[in-house]
Amino acid sequence: MTKYSSRYASSPEAVKKYDTQQLREEFLIDDLMQEDEVVLVYSHYDRYIAGSAVPVKGDLTLETIDPLKAPYFLERRELGIINVGGSGSVVVEGTTYELGFKDALYIGAGNKDVVFKSDDKNNPAKFYLNSAPAHTTYPTKKVSLAEANKLQLGTMETANHRTVNQMIIGSVVTTCQLQMGMTELKPGSVWNTMPAHVHDRRMEVYFYLDIPQDQAVCHFMGQPQETRHIWMNNHQAVISPPWSIHSGSGTSNYTFIWGMAGENLDYGDMDVCKITDLR
């Protein structure tokens, strides 16, 4: 079964006036990882889709949704998948790709049949999905966590010592515009993406995981001079408009998956905000 919803774009002037509930309704995705369902959220920022698939009682098939006006989901789109649960597999046009915990898979446009499977229903795979429009077809490719391009950033002194695992990105996988990766904070570090930045050429979605029970992450968004925050729990995602910073601090260390799409594939194309200039 597939469930989907749509989120329209909001201007920064409008967001200044949002209360907590409005912010959460517009930007927070809090219904992911539902058993035996594909859950999708279609954002009007760069026509990006974030979602999940958790096969337990049986396999799940990636189906098209009405906003796409397409006979199958990947007719004009590409797809990135990262497994954040037990071992499973994704079958693409009859070819099986085994995905362990934190392994990724890129699927190019034009693939009609995509099926999600779990190895053990008592410890099901939990597939986190990101999709963006695609103008051409590139080969499907698995990227294990070990094969990711790893960057060591930050320091313990500034509470942001972290490993950035670039997984679905130009130096590893050829894509049209989709980029995905996973940032793991080291014990004792809580800040992600600090100093904060914006990139008007791309939107982004963050998905938080590895948040211990009874802990949370405070995600910061908004223009650098007019920030807002959303408190987030494990396996929740948040949409970040191109005009917004996207940063967070947790009550413990955690992991987050970042996904981007937009005008270019330059990972370093960003406008950094001085910490002392944030308001």
**Residues in the annotated binding site for Zn(2+):** 197, 199, 204, 246
Nearest to 116 by CA among 98, 143, 91: 91
Alpha-carbon span 104 to 232, nearest angstrom: 23
> Residues forming the annotated binding site?
197, 199, 204, 246
Pairing of strands 49-53, 127-133: antiparallel
Nearest to 183 by CA among 169, 200, 171: 169
* Cα 167 to the center of its chain, rounded Å: 12
Alpha-carbon span 233 to 214, nearest angstrom: 9
Nearest to 102 by CA among 187, 209, 6: 209
